[in-house]
């Protein structure tokens, strides 16, 4: 080990001590996610599987003032019955967060939940919540009463002699006009090459993504339900394999409904159009007609605790499949003033 390598842990500890001394507030938070997701997709010819496990993500954070925050922690996953890796998967969580006058900026390795969890499944599938809980990159968002916009980039693979450079980037937002709104979600996945080595052929570079633009109406304020939202619009995929084929842009129509009353909810998503080869999207949208019906119940909702059961019915031409999900999320934390 070099002299720099031996000194690095001491330098990190010294830096951490300096941050603690300068910090105005020190706090902590713990996120817990337990999940059971049983997917019976045989009739549609898609991959059936059961995803069961627990994830826990403790963090500590320091604030120099009301705008600047530094977070550090880990994100640990264990899948039930796993024999290949009994110790589970541990990921670092380290990021800087700036908050001021509607602006919210992140850089580092920070939680996906709450930032990208609102994306439509056609654009970003929900499996990412289980296996890629952190974004590794940057995100900026701006929010006021009637307007929201965000931009982000997530590096999914670093270029080496054997690994390809990959990143996923996107933008989303909405504008509220009374009870109506206009929203958009756009993503792009860039799959570049590995480091060039003489005598080894490179696979072509691929660019792949999707865009949704929808017009919606939120009828919650004039209805007896706790929530009633209806929206529809266009869904476009784009895909090219450089040197093999140019841009392909299949498209279609999509409509969504969400209704909730007390602890029960119903969600329905309908798509009709062309086959959509979206790499990070839900595979059901490769069908030319698809309807997903979700029947849900939230029996636990109390002070950062939420438990949810969902039965999903997937209908594609000539096939009906189903999915059962249970999710329990619990978030606790405390921010306290540093003793003087």
Those residues with Cβ within 8 angstroms of residue 131's Cβ, 6 or more apart along the chain or in another chain: 77
DSSP secondary structure of 193-228: -----TT-PPPPPEEEEEEEEEEEEE-GGGSSSSEE
Helix (DSSP H) and strand (DSSP E) numbers for the chain: 2, 17
Domain that holds residue 52: 3-337
CATH of the domain at 297: 2.40.160.10
Confirm if 278 and 252 have CB atoms less than 8 A apart: no
**CA torsion through residues 114, 118, 123, 128, sign:** positive
Domain count, the chain: 1
Angle at CA of residue 47, ends 46 and 48, nearest 5°: 115
CA pair distance 2, 136, nearest whole angstrom: 28
Give the per-residue pLDDT at 5. Answer: 47
CA pair distance 184, 233, nearest whole angstrom: 10
Give the gyration radius of the chain's Cα atoms.
22
Angle at CA of residue 79, ends 75 and 81, nearest 5°: 150
Give the per-residue pLDDT at 64. Answer: 80
Give the per-residue pLDDT at 101. Answer: 94
- pLDDT tens over the chain, length 340 residues: 455 445 545 555 555 555 555 556 888 999 999 999 999 999 999 999 999 999 999 999 988 888 999 999 999 999 998 776 555 789 999 999 999 999 999 999 999 999 998 999 999 999 999 999 999 999 999 999 899 999 999 999 888 777 788 999 999 999 999 999 999 999 999 998 777 654 455 788 999 999 999 999 999 999 899 999 999 999 999 999 999 999 999 999 999 999 999 999 999 999 999 999 999 999 999 999 999 999 999 999 998 999 999 999 999 999 999 999 999 999 998 754 443 3
Grouping H, G, I as helix, E, B as strand and the rest as coil, residue 35 is strand
DSSP H helices in the chain: 3-22, 128-131
Give the per-residue pLDDT at 25. Answer: 80
| Residue 293 token pair | 């019906």
């Amino acid at each position: 080990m070099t002299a720099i390598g031996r000194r690095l842990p001491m330098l990190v500890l010294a830096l951490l001590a300096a941050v603690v001394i300068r910090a105005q507030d020190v706090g902590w938070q713990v996120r817990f996610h337990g999940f059971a997701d049983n997917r019976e997709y045989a009739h549609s010819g898609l991959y059936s599987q059961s995803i069961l496990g627990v994830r826990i993500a403790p963090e500590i954070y320091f604030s120099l003032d009301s705008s600047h925050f530094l977070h550090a922690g880990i994100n640990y996953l264990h899948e039930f019955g796993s024999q290949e890796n009994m110790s589970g998967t541990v990921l670092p969580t380290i990021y800087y967060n700036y908050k001021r006058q509607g602006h919210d900026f992140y850089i580092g390795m920070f939680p996906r939940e709450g930032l990208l969890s609102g994306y439509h499944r056609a654009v970003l599938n929900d499996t990412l919540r289980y296996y890629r809980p952190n974004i590794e990159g940057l995100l900026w968002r701006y929010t006021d009463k009637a307007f929201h916009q965000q931009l982000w980039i997530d590096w999914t693979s670093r270029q080496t002699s054997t690994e390809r450079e990959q990143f996923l980037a996107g933008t989303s937002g909405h504008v509220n006009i009374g009870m109506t709104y206009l929203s958009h979600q756009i993503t792009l996945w860039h799959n570049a090459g590995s480091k060039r080595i003489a005598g080894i052929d490179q696979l072509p570079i691929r660019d792949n993504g999707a865009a949704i633009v929808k017009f919606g109406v939120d009828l919650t304020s004039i209805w007896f339900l706790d929530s009633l939202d209806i929206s529809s619009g266009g869904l476009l995929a784009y895909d090219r394999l450089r040197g093999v084929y140019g841009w392909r842009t299949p498209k279609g129509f999509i409509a969504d409904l969400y209704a909730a009353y007390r602890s029960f909810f119903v969600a329905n998503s309908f798509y009709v159009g062309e086959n959509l080869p979206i790499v990070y999207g839900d595979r059901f949208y490769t069908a030319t007609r698809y309807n997903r019906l979700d029947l849900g119940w939230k029996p636990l909702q109390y002070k950062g605790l939420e438990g949810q059961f969902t039965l999903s019915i997937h209908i594609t031409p000539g096939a009906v499949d189903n999915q059962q999900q249970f999710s329990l999320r619990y978030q606790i934390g405390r921010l306290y003033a540093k003793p003087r």
